[in-house]
Amino acid sequence: MQVFYIHPDNPQPRLIEQVADLLRKDQLIIYPTDTSYAFGCRLGAKDALEKLKQIRELDDKHQFTLLCRDLSEIANYATVDNVQFKQLKAHTPAPITFILNATKDVPKKLSHAKKKTIGIRVPSNAIAQALLEAMDEPILTSSLILPNRDDILDDPFEIEDILGNQIDGLINAGIKTTKLTTIVDMTSSQPEIIRQGAADVDSLLR
């Protein structure tokens, strides 16, 4: 496993490019987002996705999330009408995962098996944004929650100890204050909060 020490506010472009290169080679990484450290891999990376599912013991019903640089890419992966798009625009970037109806371009393994939905999130974290820019495509992301643990790991040295032999790359940006994303289901006419996390979305529900 490669460890990259990247500045949380001013990410070094050379190191970001090295991490992006790992992602392009279908490798599994752990990187910081605006809420916590998370697993990340390229969309359609079969080996990395299988590795991720094994580590987290996920079944096919798991709802994966795509981390996007902004909303310009959203139409490729989710169907949104004008009202929904305005709501999303008013609430991004933010620690919010929006559950939306997936388009046919989303690989079947990533959309929810029964509901055909996908999570979409636009982060405000400098490293995540730099990585998304280098990749020029969304990153498949998943919370750093391990089986039999309720907490999300926030210390990169502990992450290295526990997962060092199971992942391919780790961005160490120091200890992060761990927060959960707010999850909002946007698939029906009235948005519904699935999980109240770091972001207040009351204005969405009016």
Q: For the chain, how many residues are written?
A: 206
Question: What is the structure's pLDDT at 109?
Answer: 63
Question: What is the structure's pLDDT at 111?
Answer: 65
Question: What is the structure's pLDDT at 1?
Answer: 93
Across 54-63, 121-130, 169-178, which has the greatest mean pLDDT? 121-130
Question: For 7-29, how does the pLDDT look when each residue is reduced to its tens digit (9 = 90+)?
Answer: 999 999 999 999 999 999 999 99
Read off the pLDDT of each residue in 46-57 and give the average, rounded to a whole number: 94
**Buried/exposed 16-41: b ≥16 CB within 10 Å, e otherwise:** beebbebbeebbbbbbbbbbbbbbbb
Question: For 130-175, how does the pLDDT look when each residue is reduced to its tens digit (9 = 90+)?
Answer: 999 999 999 999 988 899 887 788 899 999 999 999 999 999 999 8
**66 pLDDT above the threshold of 90:** yes
Question: What is the structure's pLDDT at 114?
Answer: 67
What is the residue whose two structure tokens read 């609430």? Answer: 91
**41 pLDDT above the threshold of 90:** yes
pTM beyond 0.75: the answer is: yes
What is the number of domains present in the chain?
1
**60 pLDDT above the threshold of 80:** no
Q: Where does the chain have alpha helices with state H?
A: 13-24, 46-56, 82-90, 126-135, 156-163
Question: What is the structure's pLDDT at 172?
Answer: 96
**Buried/exposed 140-164: b ≥16 CB within 10 Å, e otherwise:** bbbbbebeeeeebbbebeebbebbe
**83 pLDDT above the threshold of 80:** yes
Q: What is the share, in percent, of the chain residues with pLDDT greater than 70?
A: 96
CATH of the domain at 133: 3.90.870.10
Domain span holding position 75: 2-204
